[in-house]
Structure formats: structure tokens, C-alpha cells
Structure 1
Amino acid sequence: MYNIMEYGAKGDGQTNDAGAIQAAIDACTHNGGGRVLLPAGHTFNSGSILLKSEVDLHIERGAILKASDNLEDYYPLANEGKIVAHQSGLPSFLNSEYAGRPFHAFITGFHEKNVSVSGFGTIDANEKIFYGTNSGYHIEGTYYPRIPLMLLEDFKQLTIKDVTMKDCAFWTVHLVGCEDVLIDGIRILNNLQMANSDGIDPDHCKNVRITNCHIECGDDAIVLKNSGDYKQYGNCENIVISNCTLISTSAAIKFGTEGEADFRNILVNNCTISRSNRGISIQIRDNGNVENAVFSNITIETRRFSHEWWGRAEAICLTAIDRKPGIKAGKIKNITFQNITCKGENGIFLSGSSDNYIEDVRFENIRLQLTKKSKWDIDGYDVRPCPGDGSIKGKISGVYANYCKEVVFHDLKIEKDESILEFYQEDVTLLEITDVVIHQ
């Protein structure tokens, strides 16, 4: 046991205790491993912390690890630590191109093994220091990319368990090229208005289990990535997400939009999604493919938040669209949705491209109840990011399918009013629909 108080930590909420925390971590790993303890009853203000092999960073119930107010307290990770705005000067909901590598991080580490972060204490990422413009529904950050709460690269045998993470102004748990990961029983409580405050982002990761978590955040709650700066780690594959409760002002569960490699062999089951702008979204804009994914036993409740957030309250959204000319989107195929109950302002939206059909998608035992909840118009669909404004105008449908083939619906029930279409299909081949009930 390595108690950080014995290494000089004050725990008064004012002193930068990063040096003491780091000294305890260094001693722990040097001596073969053990537990670095942040004891209860203290707030430990800190700059960047570097995790190392064989260390359990344990935050006791009643202890708070809080990110520093001072940006100079964070390690520079790239570009000599320079902080820059969007290159185009556009807000984050328009400028979506991000290679995945921030300039700084709070809790970070590289090429380590057998590491854990545990305990029932709290990690506070101190979002308020990053506030930019606020529309009342969407807070833009002061720069981009901002500081993630956790950025861990190439970790083997990583466990994150029981902790509460809160108030992050960027991706909260960003895992890059990690293998054999267990995330169990954590809480992520971010501001629903804060742009880019994703919950958990496995990026080029393998053999990941995310279970028993509660996440509420602006932007996506759990999102699989294959971002451009980390291509050497290959595919994102062998992922299980189960028994989670999720709230998001973007998508509760998403694959993409960063997708420079393949996503495959993914199971999502026994989850509850509520108060989300989208339920499940597979957004392919780069050359990575998605295949062999099963979503089962999920309840979804959606509502539209505002025009700034991507989406129009779709329960399920699958899109394969080129990000821009010269960048060809990958394929979506062999996807199954079964035992899904959806209640919200929009239905199921499937849209490929004229030279890139969505293939082999099966829906079984699906219940859709389309009910107006928000003050925002639901007047079509949103396919951002893409060339142009990404808006498809017109009436919404229980099921919208465009540029798809081998799509099967079996045991589908739709409850809607007369202003909503049942099905819209265009350029769809081999569409099979059986056992459908429509209530108006």
C-alpha cells in the first residue's frame, strides 16, 4: 500500500498534489506493484498523472481527485503542447475531422500492463475552465481538442472499476490500442450541454468488456472509434457492452465517425437508453467496415435536443456515406437487432450510398412507438458529417431505408399518428417484411 499522504500530498483542494501522487505511483511500480491510495476525506487537486504497470490507483469513497485549473499543469502530448482552435474556425458540430490525438491529458499512460483504477471515490475533470459559447442547449469549448479525463495508449490487462467520473469537457475515457480491458460498475456524470464530452471511447481496442455502468453526457455515451493517428493498432474488435444505463445528447451507443479500420465481432445487450438524441448509431464516414454486430434486449427512449447535436431522435440509425470527396466510406453488413423496444420522436433510419449499399441487416421483435416529446421539429433526417448541410427534408417514417439490400424485418410493431409514414424505401433490394402490425 502506497498512501499518497506519505509522499507529501496535502489533500486540501488547493495544492497541486500531482508530484506526490506521481512519486507514489513510481515507487509502487518500481517495487513490483501494489495499490496507490487516495484516502477518504480529501480533495486532491492535480495536474497530469502518468499511470504505470502493476499499479492499482485506488480512490477511496469520499476522496476526490480533481483536475487542476491551470492548463500549464498538464503534460504536453503533441505539437509541443500548443493549444489551437479548429483549423477551419467552425464549431465542433460542423467540423468533425479529428485524428484522435489531443494535446494534453489528465490521467494518461503509454505501453503499460496490469493496471487498474478503482474505488468508489470521484474523479472531477473540472469542465468549467473550458467553457466557450453557450446557446442554452450546447456549450462549445474554448478550444479543440480539449483535455480528456483519461487517455491510455497500448495498455494490456486494464481494469477500471467502481469509480465516479464527472464534469469532463472532452472524451472522458479514451482507450487507444488497448487489449484485455474490463470496465465495470463505473459512473460517468457529464454536463448534457457540453460538446464532445463522450463517455467511453475504445479506439482500435480488442477484447473489451463494458458492464454495469451508468453514463450520462453530452455527445456519445459509449462510442467505438478507429481514429486516424493510431492506425498501427488495427481493428476495433471483440467488444461486449452489457447491463448499462445510458443518457446522451448525441448517440447513446455509436460506432464511428472516426473509422480508419474495421469494427467487428461486437455484442451489445441488456442496456437501457433514455433521454437521448439518438439511440444506436453506426456512422461510417471513413474506409473502415462494420460487420458481425448483434444488439439485443435493449430499451430506447429518444427526444430531439437541438439542431446543434447530430441526429433527429432516431431510435436506430445506420449510415454509410463518404465524409467528403476522395474519402470512401466502408461497408456495413451482417448486423442483427433483436428484442428492441423504442419510444421516441423518430424511428429506424438506414441510408447507404448509390455505390455502397448497407447489406444483410436483420430486425427481429422490434416495437416502435413514435411520440412527440420535444419542442423541436422532426422534419426529416440528419446525415452529418458529410458534404453539405446533411439534412434530408420530408416526413419521417417508422422505417426509412435507402440504398440497402438483404434487409429483413420480422415481428415489427409500429404505433404512430397519421402524419407519420409507415415505410419509406428507395433503391432497396431484397427487402423482406413479415408479421408487421401498424397502430394509428
Structure 2
Amino acid sequence: MIYNVLEFGAKGDGKTNDAAAIQKAIDKCTGAGGGRVLLPGGYIYNSGSILLKSNVEFHLEMGAVLKASDDLNDYYPLANGGKIVAHESGLPSFLNSEYNGRPFHAFIYGYDQENVAITGFGTIDANEAIFYGDNSGYHIEGTYYPRIPLMLLEKFNHLTIRDVKLVNCAFWTVHLVGCNDVLIEGIRLLNNLQMANSDGIDPDHCTNVRIIGCHIECGDDAIVLKNSGDYKQYGPCENIVISNCTLISTSAAIKFGTEGESDFRNVLVENCTISKSNRGISIQIRDGGNVENVVFSNITIETRRFSHEWWGRAEPICITAHDRKPGVKAGKIKNVRFENISCKGENGIFIRGSEDNYIEDVSFENIHLTLEKNSRWEIEGYDIRPCQGDGLIRTKISGIYAEYARDIRFEHVKIQVAESMRPFYKQDVTLSHSQEITI
């Protein structure tokens, strides 16, 4: 059964708030046992918040645009009574990352639903411009934090997101919380590369997730696994497959953390291409959750420095475990495999635990690393933010840097250094406070 939103009163003129008409179609569809809610092509549907419900395929035809409202009063309140306040610390987002995972509002929202799909070759526009704050020319800070995600779906079972184009989000774009059996396939996610916190896909305490064949560009992490504090009841983020994706990020293309209140385990990342990114792969553990049983294979990574606001110093692979603050003990990182990885950019592989929390049992096999200068920014060591202090290790770089690590194995690793990098280069391998490193 098809439920055409135009038949429920939607105007599609880009001005009228069509949220009520769209919601009426969704409610009718789910109430009748399920079907397709159709947004026909050739229209712009201005809208406030939409609540997705069970057994509904929300389908945007080619040429259909669902655009988020300019008016913050049109969004569904989630926390704080819907009242928007400034970030508690008053600091910009690149200095303070403490966030429990629950925003004040959401654009497309749902809770405790099953058998839901978002499909079609239409576009969902999250209207980022209404959230612009300070702009350095390289980094746009939002007017408040946390801002409105394009999509926040909590406790969904059997969820599919396929083919749609998601654009212009000023915060976490696809935030999935406590979801099980998720397929995200063939989507195009295009955010402003200067917009702070505009993550791409954030599976948060999710299980059995497949992210396949997607293209993502965003000004923050492209695909990031999280375990946020407010949703700890959903348990670990586990049984995740990420494959055949192309990724561009001004932070990290693929990241674990930093929100990590539960474990990350049983993750496979394969056949992906990362380009023009500030970091390639980043495992950043700052809370109590552990990381184990993870494989990265058949990946190409190209990195370059961006401005100081973005975490990272062009490391293709970065693995760090540090306490977020006194009294918050970071979890362990172990049993992680990197296989058949080709890296090119302005920094080397960086591994750093802490004095009482060594990173261990990590292997690298068939790694090709080329260091070359390709940005206007300085080369200045390594970045361990978020942490206590400024988080910068100011030193010449190495092809491989390991500190507070043990049982780390390298096999068939080739490091090439272009002349453009010689002034910033220290040596192929730097080891400090590390044990059982095999190269």
C-alpha cells in the first residue's frame, strides 16, 4: 500500500511546513499494518520533526527534497525540556568533547520501532546554515552544542537506510542508538567539510550493523562507532561490518570513540578508500569500554593536515588509550589486526597507551607507507586530544611511533620518505616505554 504525502495535505512548495501532513501519512501507514510513505519527486518538502514508526518504508523519489525547518520550535524535544542552552563549558567543541549522546532535539526521530526503511534517490537536507557560529575560514563552530542531528533512531530492530542522499547536517547525521540488525547501503552523505561535529554515521551501542557501498564527506568523523553515556543500558557496540566505502573527513574517516562507556568488539572494516582526510583510522579510548577482535583489511589511506581545530596530525592509523580525566579510567585495546593497507600522507602510524594501560596484541601485515608533504600546514608531531593538557606531542615524526605498547608485530612493512618530508622526519621507528615490538 502506498501513502502519498500530497494526498495527506503536503504542499511541497519549500515554504509550508509539511510535517503534519507527512506525519499523518506515516501514522496511517503504520496503523494499517505497514506500507510505503511516498514523497513524490519534483517537490521540496519543508518540515519540522518527523517520527518514524514500525512497518513503514519512508521513500523519497528521485528529485524529492525533504528540508529541515528554519524554526527551532518545529523540532521534537528530547532532553532538557527542549530548551537549548550553550555548551556547559563555554569552550569550543575541539577543546571539550564531553557529551552524553542525547541532543536537545531531532529532525527525523523514532523510539522502539521495528521493520523500518528509509529509501529512494531523493535528498534529505538538514539545513546546516541556521547553526553557524564562529568561522575561522577552516572550521565553523556551531551556535550551540549539541545541535540537531538529521536522524536519531533509538532501539530500532530491522532498520534499512538505502540509496538516499543526506546533506548539510550541522551535527551527527545518522545517529543510531541501541539498534539491532541495521543495513546502510549505497547512501551519499555530503556535509560541509568545515562544520564542527558534523559526523556521518554514528552507530552507538548497536549490534549487527552493515555499512556497505557508501560515499561520505564530512567535517568530522565519517563513520564512528560510539558507546555514549546516556545509553549505556544497550550494551556493547558489536558485530559490525564496514565495506566498500569511499570516505573523506577533516577529522577521522573511521573512528572508535571517543565516547566509549561500553565495549567495541567483533568489527570488520574492509575494501575502503580514504582520501583527503586529517586522519585515516583512529581508535580513541577515553572511557571504560574496551576494544577487541577488530580487523582492518584492504584499505587505501591518503591523509593531509588541516587546521589546529581538528583533532589529528594526518596520522593514517592512530591508536590511543588515555584517561579522559582523573577518575575516568580508559579501557583496554587488544587483538586488533591491520592487513594490506596502503598509506600516503604527512604522518606515520601512531600508537600510544599510558603508563598503567599498555596497548597490546596489535599486528600490521603488508603495510606500505609513503610520507610526503601535501598541505600548507606545519608538521608538528602527534595529537592525543581529548586529554588533560593541550594534547600535542611536539617532535619530528617517524614512520612508526609506539609508546606504552607491547606485543606489537610488524611484517612486510615498507616506509618511503619523500624529500619534502625530510626536514620534519626523525627516523623510521621510534619506540618508548614499549615491550615485545617485532619489526
CA displacement at 1:408 relative to structure 2: 0.3
Answer whether contact 1:24 1:36 (CA < 8 A) is retained.
Answer: yes
Equivalence for 2:51 = 50
Contact 1:269 1:296 in 2 (8 A): yes
Aligned partner letter, 2:54: S
For the 8 Å contact 1:278–1:312, the answer to whether it is kept is yes
Between the aligned partners of 2:17 and 2:191, the Cα distance in structure 1 is: 23
Q: Partners of 1:333 and 1:95 in 2: how far apart?
A: 27
The alpha-carbon deviation at position 86 of structure 1 amounts to 1.2
Structure 2 counterpart of 1:308, which letter?
E
Deviation at 1:95, TM superposition (A): 1.1
Quote the Cα distance in structure 2 between the aligned partners of 1:45 and 1:379.
Answer: 46
Letter paired with 1:52: K
Corresponding residue of 2:257: 256
1:425 to 400, 424, 431: 431
Residue correspondences, number: 433
In 2, Cα distance between the equivalents of 1:126 and 1:38? 18
Q: 1-side partners of 2:43 and 2:200: how far apart?
A: 25
Do structure 1's residue 32 and structure 2's residue 33 form an aligned pair?
yes
Q: Distance in 2 between matches of 1:144 and 1:78?
A: 13
Give the residue type in structure 2 aligned to 1:267.
L
What is the TM-score normalised by the length of structure 1? 0.98
Instruction: Please tell me whether residue 413 in structure 1 is matched to residue 414 in structure 2.
Output: yes
Tell me the secondary structure at the aligned position of residue 323 of structure 1. coil
Paired residue secondary structure (1:26): helix
Counterpart of 1:178 in structure 2 is: 179
Paired residues of 1:86 and 1:95 also in contact (CA < 8 A)? no
Unaligned segments of structure 1, at least 5 residues: 434-440
Question: Which residue matches 2:163?
Answer: 162
Report runs of 4+ in structure 1 exceeding 4 Å deviation.
none
- 1:227: which partner in 2? 228
Structure 1 CA distance, aligned partners of 2:385 and 2:85? 24
**Structure-2 residue corresponding to 1:331:** 332
> Following TM superposition, by how much is the alpha carbon of 1:407 offset from its aligned partner in structure 2, in angstroms?
0.3
1:341 partner letter:
S
What CA deviation, in whole Å up to 9, does each residue of 1:400-440 have, x standing for no partner? 0000000000000000144412111011111111xxxxxxx
Q: Scaled by the length of structure 2, what TM-score is found?
A: 0.98
In structure 2, runs of 5+ residues without a counterpart are none
Which residue of 1 is the match for residue 63 of structure 2?
Answer: 62
In the alignment, what sits opposite 1:356?
A: 357
Aligned to 1:346: 347
Counterpart in 1 of 2:7?
Answer: 6
Structure 1 window deviating more from structure 2 (141-150 vs 373-382): it is 373-382
CA distance in 2, matches of 1:202, 1:427: 34
1:120-165 alpha-carbon deviations (Å, 9 max, x no partner)? 0000000000000000000000000000000000000000000000
Match of 1:391 in 2: 392
1:399, distance to aligned residue in structure 2 (A) = 0.2
Matches within 5 A, 1:87-126: 87-126=88-127
Q: CA deviation at 1:379?
A: 1.2
Offset at residue 378 of structure 1 (A): 1.2
Q: Residue 149 of structure 2: SS of its match in structure 1?
A: coil
SS in structure 2 at match of 1:305 = coil
Q: Indicate the residue corresponding to 1:437 in structure 2.
A: none
Partners of 2:207 and 2:85 lie apart in 1 by 31
In the TM superposition, residue 375 of structure 1 has moved relative to its aligned partner by: 1.1
SS in 1 for 2:28: helix
Contact 1:316 1:347 in 2 (8 A): yes
Residues 260-311 of structure 1, C-alpha deviations (whole Å, 9 max, x = no match): 0000000000000000000000000000000000000000000011000000
Q: Deviation of residue 78 (structure 1)?
A: 1.0
What is the rounded CA distance, in whole Å, between the counterparts of 1:132 and 1:122 in structure 2?
25
Q: State how far apart, in whole Å, the 2-side matches of 1:32 and 1:405 are.
A: 56
Q: Secondary structure at the match of 1:326?
A: coil
Question: Is the Cα–Cα contact under 8 Å of residues 322 and 328 in structure 1 kept in the other structure?
Answer: yes
CA deviation string 1:40-70 (max 9, x = no partner): 1000000000000000000000000000000
